[in-house]
Amino acid sequence: MKFHDVARPYQIEAINKLLQHDHLALWIPVGFGKTAITLAALQVLHDHNQVKRVLIIAPKFVALETWPAEAARWDDINLTVMAAIGTAEHRWEVLDSDSDVVTINPENVPWAIENGLIKDFDALVIDEIGTWRSATSTRMKALYKAREWDRAWGLTGSPMPNDSLLELWSQLHLLFREESPLGKRFSTFRALTHSPPPPYSFGWAEIPGKRKEVQEAIAPYVFQIDRDRVEVGEPEKVEIVHSLTLPEKARDLYRELTKEFFADLGDEKLLVPNAAVLASKLAQVANGFLYVDLDGRDTPLHDVKLEALQELVEGARGASKVLVLYWFKRTGRLLETTLKVKPINAENIRAWNNDEIDFLCLHPRSAGHGINLQLGKKPVEIIWLEPTWSAEGEHQATSRVARSGYPFAMVNVHRFLMRDTLENRMVRTVNDRQTGEAAMLEAIQELRTTGELV
């Protein structure tokens, strides 16, 4: 199958924009095909000898799986794509090869630069450039200082995951360098668009009216697809909430932690130092355990959610696939060892998309970006076993399935929530696209002040 035969109008438009601009930020929502769009544009440039070798920096799983698989999927894309992931010897061999496209994860970029292994590339693509939002990060400074690029594109569906203009500066700085519409210095841009924090506080406040000015300034440098104006056949997400009840002992512990910032576990005494840690401890209680030290030792409390999950899985067995989204590492271990859920890796992604396995678990932080799980002939039940404070993490993880290419009109999104706990506030935070940390601290303050379980 040829991509150009099935490409949607907005995808053709995006390809043409890339071909017209040597430097461009491409903002396309999750699931809209930015990988195929970019490969198609690179193929045209390669065919006309305008690009010889391309370095693509992407999150590890995306670099290893998504880019090579997408190139192999289409008959009209014949670029060779190799991933510089693995041992230092293998990375060196791939970067020094004659492959048309080499992918590498951000963590290994400083290593590649130190060893002089990026000098032979004439084009740069940064996938999920929205994660390069820190102006002071080592990888950003190393990549900027390493060299200039004849062609540089940045791809993301989330240019401002925390809804802050400050997140844009480093992204455009990397792509456009001295020509960046946001200026040469981060400190100058911040001073022009934000008010400094008052004494004894933190957080720069955006100056009213500056957002519109920034949007107008960057418009010529960005091609953006508005999700609302494009029909891509994405499935409807049907939310199903499973309200569960904390056992009495866990409920008493929840109250004790909230009131005293302390818990007596018999052999263990747990002291909670601040509100942020308290929020994490309350979430642990809701999910059946408490970490008791920094080494990850835990005290089991209950199995309410795991038992409910087993029931749902049993009902879906054979008819649907089940993707379980979790937050705590302990839960991930239990899913794999007790319920025999397959973890996310390259082999299991392929098996899942071929309907060879029906039960997969995913941590939104480690594998939210760029993983394609929408393929196959079975419907998928998405289960949020443990909620998150991050609207971006929620959106990215759910969109691994609920995206263009999913063969059904609807996808069920189940939420397992403990009644009268912070979990309900977490879901409201995500739905309202609030900043996770601020909402978390606000919820804790409300809980402490009113004495009510939120």
How would you write 104-156 as a 3-class SS string? ECHHHHHHHHHCCCCCCCCEEEEECHHHCCCCCCHHHHHHHHHCCCCEEEEEE
The per-residue b/e assignment along 49-67, b for 16 or more CB within 10 angstroms, e otherwise, is: eebebbbbbbbbbbbbbbb
Tell me, yes or no, whether 137 and 258 share the same domain.
Answer: no
Strand-pairing partners, residue 359, are 322
Tell me, yes or no, whether 121 and 189 share the same domain.
Answer: yes
d(CA 116, CA 102): 15
pLDDT score recorded for residue 367? 58
d(CA 409, CA 414): 17
Q: Quote the DSSP letter at residue 196.
A: P
Amino acid code (one letter) for 36? A
Q: Are 343 and 361 within 8 A, CB to CB?
A: yes
CA 6 to chain CA centroid, Å, is 27
pLDDT score recorded for residue 437? 57
Tell me, yes or no, whether 267 and 203 share the same domain.
Answer: no
Q: Is the dihedral of CA 390, 393, 398, 403 positive or negative?
A: positive
CB atoms within 10 A of CB 41: 22
DSSP string, 15-68: HHHHHH-SEEEEE--TTS-HHHHHHHHHHHHHHTTS-S-EEEE--HHIIIIIHH
Q: How many domains does the chain have?
A: 2
> What six digits make up the tokens of 319?
């008819």
Q: In 227-274, where does DSSP find H-type helix?
A: 248-260
Tell me, yes or no, whether 20 and 113 share the same domain.
Answer: yes
Tell me, yes or no, whether 79 and 199 share the same domain.
Answer: yes
Tell me, yes or no, whether 293 and 159 share the same domain.
Answer: no
Which helix (H) or strand (E) segment is 443 a member of? helix 436-450
Q: Is the dihedral of CA 407, 408, 412, 413 positive or negative?
A: positive
184 — phi, psi (to 5°)?
Answer: -85, -25
CA triplet 236, 240, 244: central angle to 5 degrees? 165
Q: Is the dihedral of CA 424, 430, 436, 441 positive or negative?
A: negative
Residue 29: CATH number of its domain: 3.40.50.10810
Tell me, yes or no, whether 262 and 201 share the same domain.
Answer: no
Tell me, yes or no, whether 383 and 348 share the same domain.
Answer: yes
* Residue after which a domain boundary falls, among 229, 256, 286: 229
pLDDT score recorded for residue 448? 59
Tell me, yes or no, whether 198 and 248 share the same domain.
Answer: no
Tell me, yes or no, whether 307 and 382 share the same domain.
Answer: yes
* Residue after which a domain boundary falls, among 208, 229, 250: 229
d(CA 182, CA 286): 44
pLDDT score recorded for residue 440? 61
Burial of 253: CB neighbours in 10 Å, binned 0-12, 13-18, 19+: buried
Tell me, yes or no, whether 285 and 152 share the same domain.
Answer: no
Strand-pairing partners, residue 151, are 123
Tell me, yes or no, whether 213 and 241 share the same domain.
Answer: no
Q: Quote the DSSP letter at residue 207.
A: P
Domain that holds residue 211: 3-229
Residue 405: CATH number of its domain: 3.40.50.300
**Tokens 């993983």 found at:** 371
CA 105 to chain CA centroid, Å, is 14
CA 405 to chain CA centroid, Å, is 19
SS (H, E, C) 172-193: HHHHHHHHCCCCCCHHHHHHHH
Residue-level pLDDT, tens digit, the chain, 454 residues: 899 998 989 999 999 999 999 999 999 876 678 999 999 999 999 999 999 999 999 988 788 888 998 999 899 999 999 999 999 999 999 999 999 999 999 999 999 999 999 999 999 999 989 888 888 888 888 999 888 899 999 998 878 877 889 999 999 999 999 899 999 999 999 999 999 888 766 778 899 999 999 999 999 999 998 755 555 567 888 888 888 889 999 999 898 888 888 877 777 777 777 877 888 889 999 999 988 877 778 889 999 999 889 878 876 777 789 999 999 999 999 999 988 999 988 899 999 999 999 999 999 876 556 688 999 988 899 999 999 887 778 888 888 898 888 888 888 899 999 988 989 888 887 776 555 556 666 666 666 565 554 4
CA triplet 269, 275, 278: central angle to 5 degrees? 40
* Residue after which a domain boundary falls, among 229, 259, 282: 229
Closest of 447, 31, 65 to residue 225, by C-alpha: 31
For 83, the 3-state DSSP assignment is strand
